[in-house]
Copies of this chain bind each other. A is one copy, B any other.
Amino acid sequence: MLVPSSNRPALAVPVKAPVLPREVQPHLAEFERFFAAQIDTFEAPLRELVRYIFASHGKRIRPTLVFCSGWTDNGRIVPDQIYAAAMVELVHLATLVHDDVLDGAVLRHQSPTVSHKFGPHVAVLLGDALLAQALKIASDSLSIELSRAMASATRRVCAGEIQQTLERGNPRFSVAQYFEVISMKTGELFAVSCLLGARAGGHPEEFIEAAARFGLQLGIAYQLFDDMADFCGDEDKIGKTLGTDLASGKFTLPLLTLIERLPENEAANLRRDVLAGLTDIKTLTARMNEHGVLKSVRERFESELRIGEEALGQWDGLPARARLLDLAGYVRAQVSRLLD
């Protein structure tokens, strides 16, 4: 792979994998217990599948968001936080399972996807069952407001994904539309995680709003990281097949930025080649490096994240703010590990 040396600092030691704020580890352990206990409540034909998808999980970043935004000085774990964490994770897993059907992805978090292992029929139905389980926890958790916010966020996640799908192959798909899509498909679930967490933690109304705003921005930034990783990640580290987005014709910010920087005829050729599945990921990444694309996307990542951090500006006295800023640092460290 051609990577100009100017973009790569000469590191003597490998960058360590970033870790989630350790203060919420007891919360996450409690969440895992609650989550695992859900398995036996599923009907027999679903149990093995649910066990599989629960085990091949990611970093639980959305549950972590719930716990960080709901953080109180004594580190108390509130039942509503556990319910909210389970709901957002279930919705997230449902969308992953369905995404993998649609993208024909083979690997996710280093394990075969449900769609690859059990077939697309089973994957579609399992996703539905996970959504239904989120509805069940919502109705068991007794808070109507929690349930309502969750439902709206879920619908907006679907709306974002649908917009992305409908725009595939649209030669005029713009950077503005890209941000619209990722705000919905990723930002919404991050935002509602913070909203529900902060509410469960009993924080003031203004902080709850600020936390939700932070969540939205963190989600946008996280998606930018994920979209960069599709081009220049290490499959072993990110745990999914490289170039999956590209192969499915998604015009993400790195690709849109490259197109913007190419002469008109080259840009048109590239758009056409991507839609025809004729692009080679290594060549493309090399061209991105030539044109400073990843550097520019990283700057946008930074500015989006900073807007989120600034939303929390006036909450110095609240320990939840420190936890959320830790989490922003975690996502920033992920990008650093990817690009530095």
Contact = CB atoms under 8 A, between A and B. Distances in A.
Contact of A139 (B133, B148, B156): B148
Contact of A43 (B135, B147, B159): B159
Contacts of A49: 162
* Integer count of this chain's copies in the complex: 2
A151 interface: yes
Interface in A143-169: 144, 147-148, 150-152, 154-159, 161-163, 165-166
Task: Using C-beta atoms within 8 Å of the partner chain, give the interface range for chain A.
Answer: 35 or more
A276 to B, nearest CB: 18
Contact of A142 (B94, B144, B157): B144
Contacts of A125: 98, 158, 161-162, 165
Contacts of A136: 148, 151-152, 155
A211 interface: no
Interface SS of chain A: helix, strand, loop or mixed? helix
Given A42-B159, A159-B46, A132 B154 contact: yes
A45 interface: yes
28 contacts: A42-B155, A42-B159, A43-B159, A45-B162, A45-B163, A45-B166, A46-B158, A95-B128, A101-B124, A102-B120, A102-B121, A102-B124, A121-B165, A122-B165, A122-B166, A125-B158, A125-B161, A125-B162, A125-B165, A129-B155, A129-B162, A131-B132, A132-B157, A135-B138, A136-B148, A138-B139, A139-B144, A139-B148
